[in-house]
Amino acid sequence: MKIIPRAFVIGHPVAHSRSPMVHSYWLRQYGLNGAYEMRDVLPYQLGEFIRELRSKCYAGCNVTIPHKATSIPFLDKIDATALAMGAVNTIYWDGDSLVGTNADALGFMRNIDERCPGWAVGASHAVILGAGGAARAAIYGLLERGFTISIFNRTASRAHELARFFHNRVDVIEQAQLASALTAADLLVNATSAGMVHQPELIIDLSNLKSTSVVYDVVYVPLETKLIMKAKMLGHRTCDGLGMLLHQAVIGFELWFGQKALVSSELRELVEADIRANAPGS
């Protein structure tokens, strides 16, 4: 089977995705013959897209909202990470099999390891806000590192559902317990869409956090959310979400194009400039 070096990001909506910019940069950087394109795929078009990917032997794709779980039945198999997370974000060929994996947790962890060196020394407890795909990645990555985790979500039933998915290895807390939970947190993660452009701000009081606690916002548009600004003002180390996107992309790039890519400061600056240029009001 001859694989065509053409990959995609599929989702709906998908126009905001910075993945084409990242992969096109690496294709140029490494002088590779290939393409990476975005495709707006509605839920009813998902099966048709995967059939096209198969029949044309395209290298694979990234999968974003709303297809991360629903694409699984269309694949030949998923790997252990995607199984443990219940979602795929990267589809590739392994021989004749179309396989799903999930690089979001790896991206989540590599980002904080890079941005906040030594952050995990002596750290053992994380509070995660949210119960969607990003929270799933954060939970999986942190459980793998042996962290204990409390999660809080606006819709409590989704938090309980997620806790059940992870075999109750995470503790669900309610709004009233959040302030006291923060006193024990070595890491606070915003894995909600709150604070993202066109979304309401995240409302949270950080005064109970230990001075050594790290604050991580998975949102990367804007690059510096109000949460990150507030945390910096209080003297916390912080981590934004852009590196998570860049580090997860390394996995797909190597699977599709056979080249291990580097998350360089030049790449980060390129994407940062694009985010700033397209920020509302700029």
Nearest to 90 by CA among 231, 253, 273: 253
Closer to ligand NAP at the Cβ: 93 or 143?
143
**In the complex, residue closest to ligand NAP by CB:** 132
- Nearest approach, Cβ of residue 138 and ligand NAP (Å): 9
Q: What is the DSSP letter of 70?
A: T
Burial per residue of 145-180, b for 16 or more beta-carbon CB atoms within 10 angstroms, e otherwise: eebebbbbbeeeebbeebbebbeeebbbbeeeebee
Residue whose tokens read 């397209």: 278
Nearest to 257 by CA among 61, 81, 27, 39: 27
- Nearest approach, Cβ of residue 206 and ligand NAP (Å): 16
- How many C-beta atoms lie closer than 10 Å to residue 144's C-beta? 13
| Ranges within 263-282 binding ligand NAP (CB under 6 A) | none
- Known catalytic residue at 2: no
Closer to ligand NAP at the Cβ: 32 or 177?
177
Using the rule CB under 6 A, which residue among 189, 241, 255, 267 binds ligand NAP? Answer: 241
- Nearest approach, Cβ of residue 241 and ligand NAP (Å): 3
Closer to ligand NAP at the Cβ: 93 or 189?
189
Q: Does 50 bind ligand NAP (CB under 6 A)?
A: no
| Ranges within 213-232 binding ligand NAP (CB under 6 A) | 218-220
* Pair of tokens at residue 11: 């989702």
Length of the chain: 282
Applying CB under 6 A, the span of 7-15, 30-38, 192-200, 250-258 interacting with ligand NAP comes to 192-200
Using the rule CB under 6 A, which residue among 200, 210, 264, 273 binds ligand NAP? Answer: 200
- Nearest approach, Cβ of residue 130 and ligand NAP (Å): 4
Spatial distance between the Cα atoms of 169 and 175, rounded to a whole number of angstroms: 20
- Reported in sequence order, the residue ranges of the chain that DSSP labels E, i.e. its strands, are 4-11, 35-40, 58-63, 77-78, 90-94, 97-101, 125-129, 148-152, 171-172, 187-190, 214-217, 237-239
Applying CB under 6 A, the span of 6-14, 187-195, 256-264, 274-282 interacting with ligand NAP comes to 187-195
Q: What is the DSSP letter of 43?
A: G
Site string for ligand NAP, 130-159 (x = CB under 6 A): xxxxxx-----------------xxx--x-
Closer to ligand NAP at the Cβ: 34 or 130?
130
Spatial distance between the Cα atoms of 153 and 90, rounded to a whole number of angstroms: 26
Using the rule CB under 6 A, which residue among 90, 150, 192, 238 binds ligand NAP? Answer: 192
Q: Which positions touch ligand NAP (CB under 6 A)?
A: 65, 104, 107, 130-135, 153-155, 158, 191-194, 196, 199-200, 218-220, 241, 244-245
Q: Which residue numbers are catalytic? A: 68
